[in-house]
């Protein structure tokens, strides 16, 4: 027969846990509204910048810029030095939010045939930093959001690092792996190649959607460098804001599920407790009846 005290203790413990998960859901909901508003406000600016870049990148004048390039078949066979940016979280308890990033990372390595020894990792967030450090990957850049710096400064530091590595030929291509915010109930891990810009195919032209780009000696155009650098900073900053909103939405859903499961478990244990107590009362009554019959 189950121990009544043990069951009662478990019920009390789960009730305390349910109160914690319920409070965490409320906190995550409050943070989610704030992060979602910040993401939506910046989304329009990021989208406009993407449109400008789509126009500019197809201009043939720029195709000798360091950000353009084409990886040959020989390089593909011998292995390409690849930079991968991972945007994760500092904290857990947000469901499969971070796990999906690491799964996609492993899938990308296999599908693209990347040489792990030639991969350089650029990570934001403690969860990704701990994961790649544990798996002995070379971390070229690692930073936690809790380090105290502003998000914009963190984005700039990350961009300056991988752009410099790309220009110095330490890496030949760059990917970003982050969670794309789709809805409150859905966030999806997504991989995007950001370097080098593609400079081949039928899209090559001398036009830039109304923008006039002048050819300069050595193609060292300070204005274009500034535009490109700001483009990457804008993209990284938006990815971080999107990750923040997705993190809180995922945590809110995870805590809601935990609260519901705790309620179900409490009901199950309460039924078991009542059944055990009823059995104990029945046995006591039988003992009394047997005692009375023995006296008679």
Q: What is the pLDDT of residues 70-105, one digit of tens each?
A: 665 545 555 688 999 999 999 999 999 999 999 999
Backbone angle region of 213, left / alpha / beta, with phi > 0 → left and psi within -120 to 50 → alpha: beta
Give, for all 296 residues of the chain, the pLDDT tens digit.
568 888 899 999 999 999 999 999 999 999 999 999 999 999 999 999 988 888 787 776 677 778 887 665 545 555 688 999 999 999 999 999 999 999 999 999 999 888 888 899 999 999 999 999 999 888 999 999 987 678 999 999 999 999 999 999 899 999 999 999 999 999 999 999 999 887 544 444 555 555 555 655 544 567 788 888 999 999 999 999 999 999 999 999 999 999 999 999 999 999 998 988 888 778 777 777 777 677 76
Task: For the chain, give every domain's residue range.
Answer: 43-241
Looking at CATH, the fold of the domain delimited by 43-241 is given as Pyruvate Kinase; Chain: A, domain 1 (3.40.1380)
**Which residues on neighbouring strands pair with residue 177, listed in sequence order?**
86, 191
Give the pLDDT confidence score for residue 65 in this predicted structure: 78
Q: What does residue 172 show for φ and ψ, rounded to 5 degrees? A: -110, -10
- Measure the CA–CA gap between 39 and 98, rounded to whole angstroms: 19
* Pair 168, 82: CB distance under 8 Å: no
């Amino acid at each position: 027969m189950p121990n009544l005290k043990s069951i009662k203790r478990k019920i009390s413990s789960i009730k305390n846990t349910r109160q914690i998960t319920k409070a965490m859901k409320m906190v995550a909901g409050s943070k989610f509204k704030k992060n979602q508003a910040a993401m939506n406000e910046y989304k329009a600016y990021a989208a406009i910048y993407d449109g400008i870049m789509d126009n500019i990148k197809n201009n043939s004048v720029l195709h000798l810029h360091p950000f353009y390039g084409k990886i040959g078949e020989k390089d593909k066979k011998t292995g390409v030095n690849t930079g991968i940016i991972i945007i994760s979280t500092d904290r857990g308890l947000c469901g499969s939010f971070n796990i999906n990033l690491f799964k996609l990372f492993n899938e990308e390595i296999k599908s693209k045939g990347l040489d792990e020894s030639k991969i350089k990792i650029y990570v934001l967030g403690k969860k990704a930093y701990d994961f790649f450090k544990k798996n002995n990957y070379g971390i070229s850049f690692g930073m936690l959001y809790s380090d105290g710096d502003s998000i914009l400064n963190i984005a700039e530091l990350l961009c300056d690092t991988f752009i410099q590595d790309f220009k110095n030929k330490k890496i030949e291509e760059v990917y970003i792996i982050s969670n794309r915010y789709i809805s409150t109930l859905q966030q999806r891990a997504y991989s995007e190649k950001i370097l080098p810009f593609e400079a081949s195919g039928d899209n090559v032209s001398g036009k830039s959607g109304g923008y006039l780009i002048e050819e300069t000696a050595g193609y060292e155009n300070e204005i274009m460098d500034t535009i490109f650098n700001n483009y990457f900073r804008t993209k990284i900053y938006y990815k971080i804001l999107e990750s923040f909103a997705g993190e809180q939405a995922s945590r809110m859903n995870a805590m809601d599920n935990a609260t519901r499961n705790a309620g179900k478990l409490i009901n199950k244990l309460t039924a078991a407790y009542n059944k055990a107590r009823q059995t104990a009362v029945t046995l006591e009554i039988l003992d009394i009846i047997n005692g009375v019959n023995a006296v008679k």
